[in-house]
Structure 1
Amino acid sequence: MNIMKLEYLKQIKLFMIVILAMQATYSQSLETQIDSILTTVFKEADEPGAVFLVTKDGKPIYRKAFGQANIELDVEMKPENVFQIGSMTKQFTAIAIMMLQEQGKLNVNDAISKYIPDYPNGNNITIHHLLTHTSGIKDYTKMKSIMGIAKKDMSPEELVDFFKNEPVDFKPGEKFDYCNSGYVVLGYIIELVTGKTYEDFIEKSIFEKLGMNNSRYASDKEIVKNRAYGYHNRGEFTNKMQVSLSIPYASGSLMSTVDDMLKWQEAINTNSLITEVSKKKVFTNYTLNKGEHINYGYGWHLKDINGIPTREHGGSIFGFKSMGVYVPSLDIYVIGFSNCDCNSPTKLARDITDLVIENFNNY
């Protein structure tokens, strides 16, 4: 009996060794495959680079930095570097709105005239329209006069006044047209109902609460530890154009790290900031007046990769580009930041997500 038991234990031990060896081989193979995707773009060590993080079930399976965080000082990129994340800011603005709805301070079905009485056509534009890019408000970033204010520090009210009297592009709810102006208005409404600045509300109610200690409202003036510097490529690399960070505001003003963004994704998964009911509203694929789906919820694009639903959003701001893809059914998260607006991580992040889905489905 003891001999049989000993033999059984040996077989179990051998089985575990084989499993561990398979896992190690798999992990190494996946890392090599992800490397091969990223090094097609980020292949020069002396150029601006990127940071990518890939997680499964909330645990990192790939975390790497490429290129330079600062070309002039010859500072290598590292995974801890802080980037401007551009329009990924919209995720935080949308969740902030849902938090305030749960607190009874607003409702997504409210007309914006309730908060900004003099807003043109404000009785027919709702917070929901702003969140879903279906308001018809003209995108101020596409206005020719935008360069006239690009370096000017403006209050949210002044920024809203800059575009509010522009002719609308369509009636509310008729079309989906990605619109930064809508999220500027949302940021202003957040300030009006809380009595706090957008910056203060996001930093105190979200970043501090979640322990996102390396995330903040962007600044080119203040010292930001581990800052990645932004670049353009106009035939040669140049430092990014300087603009006032009051201009992107609630549509694109935040900075973060890939590790903090994992904390953010985990907070969404665990309902740390909003309830499951509110979360379902955030990730509903909304429709236009005629019933056509827009593939957008509140602050996230709702797409798919080979038929598997994803939640995605990217960002682009002078000197930086970002992209995050989450696969709810497999709990896979891919986040990538680039410090040159010449290198978009969007396709790379989607290709990596596709690769990880395939690997885990086959494993």
Structure 2
Amino acid sequence: MTIKHLKSICILFTLFALVWSPLSSVNAQNLETRIDSLLLTVFKDKNGPGAVFMVAKDGKPIYRKAFGKANIELDVDLTPDNVFQLESMTKQFTAIAILQLAEQGKLELKAPIVSYIPDYPAGDKITIHHLLTHTSGIKDFTKMKSLSKIAQQDLSPKELVDFFKNEQVDFAPGEKFEYNNSGYAVLGYIIELVSGETYEHYINKNIFDRAGMKHSSYANDIAVMPKRAYGYRKNDEGYVNKNKISFSIPFSSGSLMSTVDDMLQWQEALNKNTLVSANTINKAFATYQLNNGEALAYGYGWHLKALNGIPVREHGGSIFGFKTMGVYIPSADIYVIGLSNCDCNSPTQVTRDVAALVLKAFAK
């Protein structure tokens, strides 16, 4: 083969790559500009707290940017590497931990919770499945007026469950869907009872380590944490530091921390069945029903919704100083994650808007 022929082949391969690349450089720049425009409508204060966003296609980041400050007092800008509290996105990890234990035969999803917590009132009627799908009827402790009395106390999982377990249930198990932090706190306690490990240690060993999530952990306000994003809120006078809370309170319903890069590692671990088998992971995204046959829009740890008619899996979170949102589009393998360090700025809708924009761009 002559050098001339080799050059011709190289040119053909280059042209082929340009034609078949996900987005041409021009289109990629246009998409980046349009995503910037969406995000800057919400996170426009360069001198205040902000957010980090990532968009990934086929497991690879195509957009990764930070807006605003990681620390206002020290005038430190946010970077895409910053660590944020995940709040209720923690529920995804709790659900997968439960599915791991079920896969190992250490618990049954349809078993009543008295099988694990014998003294739980009405626990003979409430199953692990009810807890996972927010259909248990257990009183949500975050709506109890007495919550302020324990908010800054370091409670054991048993003490946290004891705080709300004797409250009257709101409805019979399976009768309705009502988002519930108590149910996921009970799940975290069951993880500890069944595994013989603390929830923190179990998640570190069986999820973070296995998924390669090197910058994720159980939340801690005392430990020195490299690249921590500090949380803020806003009042009439401006930004102030977030309210204090013991992380033993949100526990397995909202106490994990991570980065956008680690969250992509998480999504890839789910897609590749790194943590549980394909058969088991499908249980997290199945469509379940209430007692009356009505379909639920929630699986195990994820809301199951639609974006412009396309099925998506999503979940957000909110706690003092932080708000988060993640949207995954399985059919297009598009993942959009937004982490904000002020509870004054919600990434929920804009994350959905970015996901819709990216989906449309790749559909062309």
TM-score, normalisation: structure 2: 0.96
Matches within 5 A, 1:105-144: 105-144=106-145
8 Å CA contact 2:23, 2:362 repeated in 1: no
- Determine whether 1:272 maps to 2:274: yes
Amino acid at match of 1:261: M
What displacement does 1:44 show? 1.8
Distance 1:7 1:192 in 2: 65
Matched, 1:333 2:328: no
SS of 1:238's equivalent in the other structure is strand
Establish whether residue 40 from structure 1 lines up as the match of residue 29 from structure 2: no
| CA deviation after TM superposition for structure 1 residue 8, in Å | 6.6
Q: 1:176 to 1:18 in 2, by over 3 A?
A: closer
Q: For structure 1, which segment, 277-286 or 261-270, has the greater mean C-alpha deviation from structure 2 after superposition?
A: 277-286
The 5-angstrom pairing of residues 317-328 of structure 1 reads 317-328=319-330
CA distance in 2, matches of 1:186, 1:350: 29
Distance 2:132 2:17 in 1: 51
1:237-274 CA deviation, whole Å, 9 max, x = no partner?
10000110000000000000000000000000000010
Of residues 9-18 and 178-187 in structure 1, the stretch that sits farther from structure 2 once superposed is: 9-18
CA distance in structure 1 between the partners assigned to 2:348 and 2:360 by the alignment = 19
Question: Partners of 1:37 and 1:251 in 2: how far apart?
Answer: 30
Separation in 1, partners of 2:100, 2:23: 44
Distance (whole Å) between structure 2 residues aligned to residue 289 and residue 317 of structure 1: 32
The C-alpha deviation readout for 1:307-351, integer Å capped at 9, x for no partner, is 100000001010000000000000000000000001111101100
Number of residue-to-residue matches in the alignment: 362
Query: Structure 1 residue 246 and structure 2 residue 248: aligned?
Result: yes
Q: Distance in 2 between matches of 1:21 and 1:200?
A: 40
Letter in 1 for 2:333: D
Q: Aligned residue for 1:29?
A: 30
1:222 aligned counterpart, secondary structure: coil
Aligned sequence identity (%)? 62
Q: Does the C-alpha gap of structure 1 residues 296 and 21 become closer, same or farther in structure 2, counting only changes over 3 Å?
A: closer
Deviations 1:208-232 (Å, cap 9, x if unpaired)? 1222111000011111110000000
Q: Post-superposition shift, 1:280? A: 1.0
Partner of 2:218: 217
Name the CA shift for 1:169/1:297 in 2 (closer, same or farther; >3 Å): same
Q: Separation in 2 of the partners of 1:304 and 1:5?
A: 50
| In structure 2, C-alpha distance between the alignment counterparts of 1:13 and 1:99, rounded to whole Å | 44
1:1-363 matches, within 5 Å, as: 12=12, 15=15, 19=19, 23-235=24-236, 236-362=238-364
How has the CA–CA distance of structure 1 residues 314 and 17 changed in structure 2, closer, same or farther, with 3 Å as cutoff?
closer
Offset at residue 17 of structure 1 (A)? 8.6
CA displacement at 1:15 relative to structure 2: 3.8
Mapped contact 2:22–2:362 kept (Cα < 8 A):
no
What RMSD in Å do the two structures reach over aligned CA positions?
2.0
Q: TM-score under structure 1 normalisation?
A: 0.96
Moved more, 8-17 or 353-362: 8-17
The structure-2 alpha-carbon separation of the partners of 1:318 and 1:9, relative to structure 1 and needing over 3 Å to count, comes to same
CA distance, structure 2, for counterparts of residue 228 and residue 296 of structure 1: 30
Distance 1:144 1:22 in 2: 52
Could you say what secondary structure the match of 1:241 adopts?
Answer: coil
Deviation at 1:96, TM superposition (A): 0.1
- The 3 A distance-change label for structure 1 pair 217 and 294 is same
**Where does the alignment leave 5 or more consecutive residues of structure 1 unmatched?**
none
